[in-house]
Structure 1
Amino acid sequence: MEKLTHLEALLFTAVLENCVDQLSILGYIMPVSHEGKPDLSHTGTQEMKEIIETQKELDINCQELMSARQWSGETVTSMSLKSIKHKQQLRKTEDLKSTHHPSKRAMKHTALSVENLRKIQADRQYASDVITVTMKNIQESGTFNSLTEANEREKAKKSKFHDILIREEEGKKEIKSLEKQLQNVKKQTEIELQNRDNMIVYLKDELQEMKAKTNMESCYMKKSTDLQVHQTQKKCSNAENVLDKEIQKLRSKTDEEIRVHIEIENFLRQHHE
């Protein structure tokens, strides 16, 4: 990288010093959380006006420094004097703000959250540190490599953050897709469970009907079997009675034949004698 001339280095240094001063003022006028302290929003009005006027003067000086590259070497000396005056005004502003900044912070406490203020303060401090290192780099080597490196680092961080956001967005889409699939699976599962419950109820009803039918058939078969046994027993008893009568008849007939035979035998014996 081509080195800056001595004049350019002075101009850039003056502009960067003004930027650092502006960031310092911003750090003092930014609101922060003051819990437990009374509201001082209606105090220090005159001092706040002085701070605003001083800030306007600093802005005018910044514009003059930005156009200083077109001026001569004597103008650079004038800018250096203005820079000294600028620093004196800055110290005056800091003194005023150190006395009354709680009221300013109290007025804006509801506008910004503590986390946002912390982030802004961190970014402001980082920018101030980078500019300070750049001024030192310009004064020592006549280049601003540190600023370029810081810019590259921020680009890398931004790119990494962008990649993280893309992955986060893709993750959200995937989560939504999975949630949708999960909902579909839940619905399908609920339908299947409902169908199974209906089938279980149906099978229970069928089982109750089968049990009732089986009980009825068992009772019928038992009664039918008992009746058949009773009828068979009755038939057997009747047949047994008939056989007993036949036996009695045969016995009577046999006894009669024996008696007749004895009588005939006796008769024949008597006639033979």
Structure 2
Amino acid sequence: MSSPWPREQQLRLSTVLMDCVEQLTALGRIMLHSGRACPAAGPPSEIVTVDVGEMQVQVKVLCPAEGEGAKPKDCPPSPEKLVKVQRDRQFVAQVISDVAEELRESGTFHTLLETVGRERKKAAHLQDLIRREEEGRGKMKALQRQLLDIRKEKALELQKREEMIAHLKDQLQQMKAKTTLEKKYVKNSSELMVYQGQKFNAHKEKQLEDDIKHLQEKIKEEKRVHKEMEGFLKEHQTQLVQKLEMWMERYDTETDIKQKELNSLKTNKANNLAYFQELCKTYQESEQVVITDRLEKEEQRRLQEKEERERKAAVKIQAWWRGTCVRQGLGPYGKGTKGPKGSKGSKDKKTKEAKKEKKK
């Protein structure tokens, strides 16, 4: 890559940078020998402006103190500050040395830009750490305040519990005194109850002994009654056996009589059954004759009715025919024709009979 500056300017810049490195090295030796540093007054510096393309980079170059009368104030630095200053000085010297070497070789100072970028990242990281540390401190303060509140609450709770313990101790003393009195009372009551129980048991035992004697006498009485009852039952059993034998004989006699009566009834039943069957046969024959007679009469009635209907129909047909002949003047009823003698009388007779049939 070609350099943006002429070779002479590169050499001048490189020389200035190397001079800065030497001054930083001398400053470090002075700080090591003197063991003192004054943060308020430092060595004068010279600012050199370097053009890199379109960018201008200002490099601060340390210069020797102006005037022999300028003396730093006596202020003993702390060891931590000395260590930090030495570390920063070494870092700056190393960066300037690398930049000077890069300028001599290629005429660029990318190393400076990369270092500045890395330092910015470190600074940002450091700022992030500081911010998180501040947040942690805030949280810690909040937790400390919360812890203080909890301690106060616990102290109040502990005080309340101590008061409760003292109150419970008082109650315990009262309960112990009350328990002692109750024990004495229970002991006296138990002794009294035992004494009363013994007296009650003695009285109960006496009652039970009296009951036993009474029951023994009652058992004797029951045995005597049992023997008398047993004799009575045996005598009554003998009488019942005799009565049973008598009733068995009577049962046999009456059974024979009833069996004879039953046989007689069976015979009468058989005779009556035969007579009944004969009557049934006679009744069936009579009924058959009656049914046959009824059927014959019914048949005759139907025949008579049929003949009557046929006769009436013939009469009606004849009357209709005669009427038709008369109205039409057919046959012997024509105009100018006289019927035979006696026809008028027969005609009137037939007309009367037809009217009678209609009325019926």
Normalising by structure 2, we get a TM-score of 0.41
Within the alignment, does 1:154 sit opposite 2:119 as a pair?
Answer: yes
Structure 2: where are the runs of 5+ without partners? Answer: 36-42, 52-63, 65-72, 199-360
Within the alignment, does 1:192 sit opposite 2:157 as a pair?
Answer: yes
Query: Partners of 2:193 and 2:109 in 1: how far apart?
Result: 121
Is the CA contact 2:3–2:108 (under 8 Å) kept in the aligned structure 1?
A: yes
CA gap of 1:230–1:138, structure 2 versus 1, over 3 A, is closer
Identical aligned pairs, as a percentage? 40
Partner amino acid for 2:25? S
CA positional deviation for 1:137: 0.8
Query: Partners of 1:149 and 1:68 in 2: how far apart?
Result: 17
Query: Partners of 2:106 and 2:177 in 1: how far apart?
Result: 106
CA gap of 1:208–1:129, structure 2 versus 1, over 3 A, is same
Is the CA contact 1:32–1:117 (under 8 Å) kept in the aligned structure 2?
A: no
Partner amino acid for 1:168? E
1 or 2, which has the higher strand percentage?
2
Secondary structure of the residue aligned to 2:104 is helix
Is the CA contact 1:137–1:143 (under 8 Å) kept in the aligned structure 2?
A: yes
CA gap of 1:8–1:203, structure 2 versus 1, over 3 A, is same
Q: May I ask how many residue pairs the two structures share in their alignment?
A: 175
Query: Partners of 1:179 and 1:173 in 2: how far apart?
Result: 10
Q: Pairwise mapping of residues 11-30 of structure 1 onto structure 2 (< 5 A)?
A: 11-30=12-31
Residue by residue over 1:170-215, the C-alpha shift from the partner in whole angstroms, topping out at 9 and shown as x without a partner, is 1111111112212222221222222122112212211221221232
Residue by residue over 1:13-39, the C-alpha shift from the partner in whole angstroms, topping out at 9 and shown as x without a partner, is 2321232232122112214587xxxxx
Structure 1: where are the runs of 5+ without partners? Answer: 35-54, 70-89, 91-106, 234-273
Partner of 1:167: 132
Query: Partners of 1:23 and 1:206 in 2: how far apart?
Result: 84
Secondary structure of the residue aligned to 1:30 is helix
Question: Which structure is higher in RCO with an 8 Å CA cutoff and minimum separation 6?
Answer: 1
Deviates more, 1:123-132 or 1:207-216: 207-216
Partner of 2:3: 3
Partner of 2:103: 138
CA positional deviation for 1:115: 2.7
Query: Partners of 2:132 and 2:146 in 1: how far apart?
Result: 20
CA gap of 1:4–1:10, structure 2 versus 1, over 3 A, is farther
Secondary structure of the residue aligned to 1:187 is helix
Q: Pairwise mapping of residues 21-40 of structure 1 onto structure 2 (< 5 A)?
A: 21-31=22-32
CA gap of 1:224–1:139, structure 2 versus 1, over 3 A, is closer
Rg larger in structure: 2
What RMSD, in angstroms, separates the aligned Cα atoms of the two structures? 4.0
CA gap of 1:208–1:133, structure 2 versus 1, over 3 A, is same
Residue by residue over 1:56-101, the C-alpha shift from the partner in whole angstroms, topping out at 9 and shown as x without a partner, is 8xx7xx57xx4899xxxxxxxxxxxxxxxxxxxx9xxxxxxxxxxx
CA positional deviation for 1:9: 1.5
Is the CA contact 2:99–2:111 (under 8 Å) kept in the aligned structure 1?
A: yes
CA gap of 1:145–1:202, structure 2 versus 1, over 3 A, is same
CA gap of 1:202–1:32, structure 2 versus 1, over 3 A, is farther
Query: Partners of 2:49 and 2:183 in 1: how far apart?
Result: 116
Is the CA contact 1:32–1:114 (under 8 Å) kept in the aligned structure 2?
A: no
Q: Which of residues 168, 176, 198 in structure 2 aligns to 1:203?
A: 168
Which consecutive segments of 4 or more residues in structure 1 shift more than 2 A?
Answer: 1-4, 31-34, 66-69, 213-233
CA positional deviation for 1:220: 4.8
Normalising by structure 1, we get a TM-score of 0.52
